[in-house]
Amino acid sequence: MIDFSLSDEERAVRDTIRRFVDRELRPLEETVLRNERSGLPSLEPGVLTALQQKARAAGYWGPATPEEYGGMDLGAVMHAIVEMELGRTFVPFEFGGGADNVLFACTPEQKETYLLPTIAGERRSCFALTEPGAGSDARNIRTSARRDGGDWVVNGEKTFITDGSEADFCILFARTGEGVTAFLVDREMGWKSSPIALMGDWPAASLSFEEVRVPGENVLGEVGGGLDLALSWIGQKRYLIPARAVGASERLLGMALEHARVRESMGRPIADYQAIQWQIADSQVEIESAKWLTLYAAWRAQQGLDARHATAVAKLHGSVIANQVVDRVLQIHGGMGYTRELPVERWYRNLRVMRIFEGTDEIQRRTIARNLLKGHVALGTIGE
């Protein structure tokens, strides 16, 4: 028999994170809305740092970081559950103590300069893969790095790079004679960034490299092995996107339920009308299906099984249903949902990017279809 229950320890972690979200993050939502509508950052960096340190004092630091580096090493399933809880608010918060998983491929010397300071919150990285002409198809990147003595000289452009304007170093992927190679490139080496204005709060930027000189010891991993590193990063993170989508959708549905009970039309609460009830029911079914698809993908990753297909399914479904749910919730709120008096419109704008970044809907469908057509995945299997 399959046991879907959480252990006492896992339930305690979930409940503690939920209390943290309710007590520390949700009260900041009005501040976030007010700041963004005034053209200011969502939260002052000091506020975010203080929140991370408060969480650290409670034992929550680096949910996915190995214990040897001071992290919690919760495992993929609990990490997904943590992301679901964080998804219940639009306050842009991440627990401190983390680092891009590719940084664990650093040499001992690189770990001292890049990995450990990043985990400690003293440095900030960005993952520079996407280019204007190479989004989902990472193999087509054109940014180049040529050897010049013991150094590499980089030229090219990256776009839609998360935290690109805030990072002090980037994990850069460039084409070399041996293939694609990853480099650790400090901002002071000469690359520049420009923020990209978006409809949501995703902090994206474009990066430019013009004759940027990078020391040979800053190669991350093996020369020519950068694409494998990049794909491991993408695969490792992808199931966390539908996890956030599930948390956001549950919060939104809760808002719709509350509104439907108190809003009256033609002398009755709108919750009495079948048109509203069906939207609520459809949303609940979709959220539950996305939740279990996400947890299954995380479980496969945690068990060391190939999770790529399951993650593609979860990412596609979770991203789509989140957008369907927020659209219904806005509709249930009527004209008020379309105003900035309520945060629904903010959720509406923010969730749309989930269907684009970390692999578009179309790429997920392509992956799923190819796996089935080529026999890489069989129908009718359970946990295999």
Residue 337: predicted pLDDT? 93
Residue 111: predicted pLDDT? 96
Phi, psi of 361 (to 5 degrees): -55, -40
CATH code for the part of the protein at 8-98: 1.10.540.10
pLDDT: is 289 or 10 the higher one? 289
Domain 123-225 has CATH 2.40.110.10: yes
Give the tens place of pLDDT for each residue, 137-195: 777 899 999 999 999 999 999 999 999 999 999 999 999 988 999 999 999 999 999 99
pLDDT: is 97 or 358 the higher one? 97
Determine the Cα–Cα distance for residues 240 and 227; give it in Å rounded to an integer.
21
Write out the DSSP string of 247-271: HHHHHHHHHHHHHHHH-EETTEEGG
What are the start and end residues of each CATH 2.40.110.10 domain in the chain? 123-225
First to last CA, the chain: 16
Residue tagged active-site, from 122, 358, 362, 384: 358
Determine the Cα–Cα distance for residues 195 and 191; give it in Å rounded to an integer.
14
Determine the Cα–Cα distance for residues 130 and 127; give it in Å rounded to an integer.
9
Residue 235: predicted pLDDT? 66
- CA nearest 288: which of 242, 258, 246, 329? 246
Q: Which residues contact 85 (CB under 8 A, 6 or more apart)?
A: 14, 17, 18, 21, 247
> Above pLDDT 70, what percent of the chain?
98
> Above pLDDT 90, what percent of the chain?
78
Least confident of 40-44, 149-153, 348-352: 40-44
- CA nearest 213: which of 269, 259, 151? 151
- What's the rounded mean pLDDT across residues 354-376? 93
Buried b (16+ CB within 10 A) or exposed e, 283-310: beebbeebbebbbbbbbbbbeeeebbbb
* 36 pLDDT higher than 90: no
Give the tens place of pLDDT for each residue, 200-250: 888 899 999 999 999 999 999 999 999 888 887 776 678 999 999 999 999
CATH architecture, domain 238-373? Up-down Bundle (1.20)
* 358 pLDDT higher than 90: no
Strands 125-128 and 169-176, bridge-based pairing: parallel
- CA nearest 65: which of 57, 52, 74? 74
Mean per-residue pLDDT over the chain, rounded: 92
* 1 pLDDT higher than 60: no
Determine the Cα–Cα distance for residues 43 and 65; give it in Å rounded to an integer.
25
Structure-block tokens of residue 280:
């609520």
Residue 44: predicted pLDDT? 86
Residue 178: predicted pLDDT? 87
What are the start and end residues of each CATH 1.20.140.10 domain in the chain? 238-373
pLDDT: is 57 or 321 the higher one? 321
Active-site annotation holds for 362:
no
Residue 243: predicted pLDDT? 97
Phi, psi of 223 (to 5 degrees): -60, 130
Give the tens place of pLDDT for each residue, 270-308: 999 999 999 999 999 999 999 999 999 999 999 988 899
What are the start and end residues of each CATH 1.10.540.10 domain in the chain? 8-98
Q: Which residues contact 204 (CB under 8 A, 6 or more apart)?
A: 159, 160, 161, 162, 164, 195, 196, 198
The type of residue at 293 is L
Kindly indicate the confidence band of residue 61, based on its pLDDT and cuts at 50, 70 and 90.
very high
- What's the rounded mean pLDDT across residues 98-118? 94
